[in-house]
Structure 1
Amino acid sequence: MNIKKLLSLALLAALPLLSSAQQKANWQNLDLKTDTTFGISTEKAYKELLKGKKSTPVLVAVLDGGVDLNHEDLKRVIWTNKKEVAGNGVDDDKNGYVDDVHGWNFLGGKTGSVEFETLELTRLVRRDNARFAGITASTVTVKDKAAYEAFVNNRTELEKQLATAKSDLQGITGFKYYLDLVVKKIGKENPTAKDFEAFKATTKQEEGIKAAVLGILNEMDFKTFYDTQIEAGLKQATGQVNYNLNIDYDPRSIVGDNPNDSKERFYGNNDIKGPDALHGSHVSGIIGADRTNTIGIKGVADNVIIIGVRNTPNGDERDKDVANAIRYAADNGAKVLNMSFGKSYSWDKAVVDEAVKYAVSKDVLLVHAAGNDNNDVDVENNFPTAKYLDGSIASSWLTVGASGPKDDETLKAAFSNYGKTTVDVFAPGVRILSTVPDNNKYIEEDGTSMAAPVVAGLAALIRSYYPKLTAIQVKDIIMKSVVKVNHNVSTMKGADTVSIPFADLCVSGGIVNAYNALKLAASYK
């Protein structure tokens, strides 16, 4: 949840959350006609199209912040490198990565792993601060003028973002302070709506807290709100100020590589979980959580193997790590890559382009989240992209926006980026229940980060039952088999809510559909 929304009572009351009464378990896999929920008809496909059919396992690489390989709903589907002897300190398969038994961590070193990182914007400003030290607009050379102007613009943007982050941190810290006081007065650890209604506010701050929380408790219990919004929001704001936007913070010495050498390949460690595997574990569960057991959730695909490749810290990923993660996954046989990460700036797009071309040449389908800033990415940057520096397009790449469960004006997730020519499809990405680390937990998360693995799971499902299809053919099938949306949806343009045709949000004009895709795959020529 955006911190500014959290601190605005009016926006809090208007948040487009799905109430528990409306929420259906496994909704992303349900069918619009039979379940009145705009999922992708996965369960219908299993029941009517796949029953009794044989499949082959498909390796799916999750390029993310880490994967909990011991989770009850993931451990059966985690990749094991049979060419590597665990724990012997030897590169048995001679691929340059020692003891890469379940994947690789490009954010690790001998003493640990990077958790927090700066934004790419911060790194660019830090680099150019040194380059243009003592230089002004009147003294810069003609040759360096364009680079200098870019530096000044970036520095101004960084200062703006840092000021906003500091304001957000101050706001949520104050909100939490008064909320804690109110809860202490109520005298219950997990107070209900009735408890807050009965509470007699004595200050304006307490009145504001009471109104805000009552608007929330129709949607979730207090403890869930406190843990997932207040604590998480405070962590996010603190991380932005102390790490993401802090020009003096640089954790890369942990890795021990030369971060400016984009050609360097062999660094990192084999800890695919890392210090914060919530996001990557959640993504992995959406793709392939064990469908054979009777616990937890059901992934989209029933015969996948998940290879964890850690390249995404709490902050912006580095292009070098993205490129190496793509190459590592492709070299180890992954046929689908899920990339639920993105950023507005790129340090070395060329090295990522080279890796994408390499993966395409190895018949890999790359699935990328469109981003969560409600931006039109036809005009706003969100790296990595399917478009190479030379203007050509990666042939086996899908960019995914996020949709909600209702076939009405709220179908586009409020946060989702979109783009008539750059976003390919939409998929469920609102309040998706999936696996998270430690003690076999499950939580709901929002984001195009959740929509992308729905599509990655679908791609793996198709490749599992129709293994002769190429990555390009699978992309074509997914694009042609969407459920077209022929009505308008609401989205924010600045401070205004506007109504636009869903068809203008993406290339295909629809939501991916497993049932339609598998029917098309069966007759695809």
Structure 2
Amino acid sequence: MSFPLPSQLRLLALGLLLPALSLAQTPAPAPAAPAPTTTPQWYLLDPQQDGVMGVSATRAYAELLQGRASVPVTVAIIDAGIDTAHVDLKRLLWRNAREVAGNGLDDDQNGYIDDAYGWSFLGGPDGRNVDIDTYEDTRLLARLQPRFKGKTRATVPAAQRADYDLYVKVNKTYNEKLKENTQRLKEIEEAYTENQQGAQAVKQALNVPALDTATLHHPPTTDPQLLAVTQGLYQNLVQAGYPSLEAVLEEIKEALTDTKNQLEYSLNLKFDPRGVVKDHSNDVKERRYGNNDLYGPEPSHGTHVAGIIGADRDNGLGILGLASNVRLMAVRAVPNGDERDKDVANAIRYAVDNGASIINMSFGKYYSPQRAAVEEAIRYAGSKGVLLVHSAGNESKNLDQEMQYPAPVFQNGQRIPNMMTVGASSRTNNADLTANFSNYGRHAVDVFAPGNQIYSTIPGSKYANKSGTSMAAPVVAGIAAVLKSYFPSLTATQLKRIILQSAEPVHTQVHQPGTKKLVDFRELSETGGVVNLYRAVELARQQSAQ
């Protein structure tokens, strides 16, 4: 699990900081920026009224939902953890009423001691937790390489050829990742150093402590060269949705740390952190393991996801979550690296058994050795009327050609009726409407939702922009929670149908993710549209009136 690199380096491609490296050289004029909206939460706004490709949540609450009764809805967030003390989340946490917090007992006899607010399948009985784990490619290669390295298919017994073919495949993808990350590390290190120096040069020239948009918009200088530099930087920051150059550098620094971790741990054939958990990692029937530490080593990702779904709309602080009457259930199962099928299956079951109506799954991978166990859990969720919302992934891939897991279809080819797969869209209805990093697929991806520069909660009662299909999925989960809250009789399949039917096709010519090729946005997902809460509520009202 990581945030997409393309968004983190996107500003470098725009030349955001590079003009600052040489103040003796006047930069070319920057492109005109769109007028900034009055809120950093552009994704809540309306395409017609506000001119951005948001989901019309603000309009829906003002025009359709005001004064209407709602019921609380529990949304489980299977992720890396949540900062349960965040001022914009703590009032809305799901609470296990059958469990007495902190008494060291399994009061409700469900096999999980002190699971008062959720559970972690990445923790051990001694309180330690898995932070970074390997990729599934790495785990498979470590298992298969001793059997097949140096052999050819012809020399392998027929009964082992399926495993040999898998070995050849994972060996290829593993080495591609190793090469890509090694090169990426070099590029990010160079970019961070150069851009940090450039930012420092501008700060010194202006004699200011930071380069935020307010300072850059009205810089304390009359020097024409400095004014040209600050104007270009300001316009690009506003256009890209960053509050400051320091925020840009922080994203690049996060990308640097993430890439180092991938090389040192996630791609390390000898690294195995699972001993911390003390479970039998290959026993998919094992359910009772883990601990109740919901924060974990790094809850930034899950905290951001939680805020998108249900940050407190009534406390007058921070941001507004999509859902107003929600209970947020934290289930830790996603490390920095690839999640394990066993943990995902158990996390889904835990959420279902504890009353979740919707489960957000902002994670994914390209190998699933225990796929059957995950699918069994998904079927179980379906039997209980639970909707699963899954992120499409951040590798600019066509999922019609390469499957990502959990897949949108069962192994028998049947479409999963209670799961949605979500791609990431951006703010403007132009060639950049698709987020450059987003996976897509005319059949494999159901719909797109805002996922580029999404402002939400982060640990320490703070807020920040993050990008990824990991942000798009909770937008859809939040919409589903609103519908379920105001129209509680809706089933999981009805929720899915309403959300998809209310996403009107968009025929804008957009860049196919990862390329400059222009394609019809309609061709990138099953619906060809961006989710819209206003239209979804209208559709739900029509159905409830029948």
Aligned to 1:249: 271
Amino acid at match of 1:517: A
> Is 1:433 equivalent to 2:455 in the alignment?
yes
> Is 1:163 equivalent to 2:179 in the alignment?
yes
SS in 2 for 1:459: helix
Aligned to 1:13: 15
Q: How far off is 1:23 after superposition?
A: 4.8
2:452–2:467: 8 Å Cα contact kept in structure 1? Answer: yes
Aligned to 1:205: none
Unaligned 5+ residue runs, structure 2?
Answer: 18-29
Give deviations 1:100-134, integer Å, cap 9, x for gaps.
00000000012411110111111110111234367
> Is 1:480 equivalent to 2:480 in the alignment?
no
Aligned residue runs from structure 1 range 443-522, under 5 A: 443-492=464-513, 496-522=515-541
Q: Distance in 2 between matches of 1:9 and 1:304?
A: 36
Q: How far off is 1:27 after superposition?
A: 1.5
Residues 453, 182 of structure 1: alpha-carbon distance in 2 compared, 3 angstrom cutoff: closer
2:127–2:293: 8 Å Cα contact kept in structure 1? Answer: no
Residues 7, 87 of structure 1: alpha-carbon distance in 2 compared, 3 angstrom cutoff: closer
Number of equivalenced pairs: 512
Amino acid at match of 2:493: I
Aligned to 1:224: 247
Give deviations 1:348-370, integer Å, cap 9, x for gaps.
11000000000000000010111
Q: How far off is 1:222 after superposition?
A: 2.2
Q: Distance in 2 between matches of 1:454 and 1:298?
A: 12
Aligned residue runs from structure 1 range 7-156, under 5 A: 11-13=13-15, 21-25=35-39, 26-109=41-124, 110-132=126-148, 135-156=151-172
Amino acid at match of 2:137: L
Amino acid at match of 1:115: D
Residues 7, 287 of structure 1: alpha-carbon distance in 2 compared, 3 angstrom cutoff: closer
Aligned to 2:210: 190
1:67–1:281: 8 Å Cα contact kept in structure 2? Answer: yes
**With structure 2 as the length reference, what TM-score do the two structures score?**
0.87
1:66–1:273: 8 Å Cα contact kept in structure 2? Answer: yes
Residues 20, 270 of structure 1: alpha-carbon distance in 2 compared, 3 angstrom cutoff: farther
Aligned to 1:286: 308
SS in 1 for 2:112: coil
Q: How far off is 1:180 after superposition?
A: 4.9
Amino acid at match of 1:279: H
Identity of aligned residues (%): 44
Aligned to 1:295: 317
Q: How far off is 1:413 after superposition?
A: 1.4
Aligned to 2:426: 404
1:5–1:11: 8 Å Cα contact kept in structure 2? Answer: no
Q: Distance in 2 between matches of 1:59 and 1:214?
A: 41
1:197–1:214: 8 Å Cα contact kept in structure 2? Answer: no
Q: How far off is 1:483 after superposition?
A: 2.7
Residues 78, 170 of structure 1: alpha-carbon distance in 2 compared, 3 angstrom cutoff: same
Aligned to 2:348: 326
SS in 1 for 2:441: coil
Amino acid at match of 1:129: Q
**With structure 1 as the length reference, what TM-score do the two structures score?**
0.90
Residues 98, 492 of structure 1: alpha-carbon distance in 2 compared, 3 angstrom cutoff: closer
Residues 136, 170 of structure 1: alpha-carbon distance in 2 compared, 3 angstrom cutoff: same
Aligned to 1:203: none
1:113–1:254: 8 Å Cα contact kept in structure 2? Answer: yes
Amino acid at match of 1:128: L
Aligned to 1:346: 368
Q: Distance in 2 between matches of 1:92 and 1:279?
A: 30
1:400–1:424: 8 Å Cα contact kept in structure 2? Answer: yes
Amino acid at match of 1:223: E
Amino acid at match of 2:540: A
Q: Distance in 1 between matches of 2:129 and 2:167?
A: 30
Residues 280, 145 of structure 1: alpha-carbon distance in 2 compared, 3 angstrom cutoff: same
SS in 2 for 1:489: strand
Q: How far off is 1:228 after superposition?
A: 1.7
1:6–1:12: 8 Å Cα contact kept in structure 2? Answer: no
Q: Distance in 2 between matches of 1:29 and 1:127?
A: 46
Aligned to 1:204: none
Residues 519, 181 of structure 1: alpha-carbon distance in 2 compared, 3 angstrom cutoff: closer
Q: Distance in 2 between matches of 1:177 and 1:344?
A: 33
Q: How far off is 1:152 after superposition?
A: 2.2
Q: Distance in 1 between matches of 2:337 and 2:305?
A: 17
* CA-atom RMSD in angstroms: 2.9
SS in 1 for 2:304: helix
Q: Distance in 1 between matches of 2:481 and 2:402?
A: 30
1:368–1:399: 8 Å Cα contact kept in structure 2? Answer: yes
